[in-house]
Amino acid sequence: MSNYYLGTSPDQVLGNTPRYFYALRKNENGSMYFVKNDNIKDGQSIDINNPGPVEENYNGFEVGVDFYEGIDVYHRAEFDNLKYPQYRWDERSILYYINAEGELVARVNQGYTYTTGVSEE
């Protein structure tokens, strides 16, 4: 089956940039937060750095480059203002969630309904 587009195709909009951005962070209480951004949808944006002194910002962000070095072996932040110490890019829409055992699970080719109203923030 072929896809036909009237106007601009996703490839023309994104170029070599992967479509989906996935990021993971943990707050002071140990709660995990996950964000998925579809780069084709209008109005979606991600803040890479938290508010704070500019000299504490993470400046190595590159579109399309995965990053897993935001925490050290003792699970401490390597960059003070970096909001998401681990993030990745992908062409596929993958449904990630944290199960009851606290494990990060990737669900491919299966739907998942995210729980709402349980966030600390």
* Domain hosting residue 31, numbered range: 10-107
- Looking at the domain assignment, is residue 1 inside a domain? no
pLDDT tens, residue by residue, 3-29: 554 555 555 545 667 888 999 988 888
**Across residues 37-55, what is the average pLDDT?**
84
Planar angle of CA 14, 17, 19, nearest 5 degrees:
75
For residue 44, tell me if it sits in a domain: yes
**Tally of domains within the chain:** 1
Grade residue 83 by pLDDT with cuts at 50, 70 and 90: very high
